[in-house]
Amino acid sequence: MKLPSYLLIALALFLSFGCATTTKRLDTADGTLEEADRLMEARFFEEARTQLFRIKTEFQESALLVEADLRIADSYFRQSSWKAAASAYEDFIRTYPGRPEIPFAIYRLGLSHVRQMPSNPQRDSRSAERVLDVFSRLLVEFPDSPYAEEAIPHIQRAQNQLAEKGFSIARFYERQGNFAAAATRYQEVFEIFPDHPRGEEALARRVRSLRRAGETEEAERARKMFRETFPASQFQSMIQP
C-alpha cells in the first residue's frame, strides 16, 4: 500500500524532529541525567550507568556531578548489587563530605551491608560489623536525620548476630575444657555488649570459667563486678563458689 505523499512528508518531519530532540537531549548534562533516570525506571541499570558516567566524563564542570555519582550508587542498590552499591556509596561519602545527601548515602551504605548479612549468626560476621559501624556513625553524626530512627532495628539485629557468635565461640572453648580461652572470650562479649542479654550471661560464665582455670583471684573480681552490675540476675547461681 502506497502512502500519500503528505503522510510521508509528515512522517519524515516527525522522525527528524525526534532524532534532533534525542541528540539535543544527550548533548546536555540535564538531558543526559533525564535519560539515565528514564533507563533506571525501566530497570536498564547498566545503560543508565553509561549515561551517568558520561556526565562525569563529558560534563565535568556540571553541577549535576554530585547527582550523577549518587545515582550510580542508587543504580547498584536498585539492582541488588550490594557489594558494588556499598563501594559506590563509600566513594560518594568520601568524595563529597559535608553535602546534605551524606545522611542518605550513609543510610544506604548501611542497608547495602544489611542485605549481605547471613541469616545464620555463626557464619561470616564482617557484614554485621560493618552494619554496626555505619549505622552507629549515622546516629552519632546525624542524630536528627529521618534515617537515624530507621537505623536502630538494623543496629539491634547486627548486635544480636555479633553477640551470639562471640558467645558461641566462648561456649565452644568451655565445652572443650579450655577454660582460660573461654573466660577471655566471655569477657570480650561482656565488654562489647554489656547491655545485651548475652553480655550478662557471658560475665557469669566468665566467673565460672576462671574458677575452673584456677584463676581464683580474677574469678572473685569478676564475681564482684557481676553482683554489682546485675544484682537481680537469673544467673546468680552460676557465680556461687
Q: Place 10 in a pLDDT band, splitting at 50, 70 and 90.
A: very low
What percent of the chain is predicted at pLDDT more than 70? 89
User: DSSP class of residue 237?
Assistant: G
Please tell me the pTM assigned to this model.
0.80
Average pLDDT over residues 38-53: 95
Note the pLDDT of residue 125.
85
What percent of the chain is predicted at pLDDT more than 90? 79
Q: How far is CA 61 from CA 29, 73, 74, in A?
A: 10, 20, 22
156-206 pLDDT, tens digit per residue, is 999 999 999 999 999 999 999 999 999 999 999 999 999 899 999 999 999
Angle (CA) 151 152 155, round 5°: 90
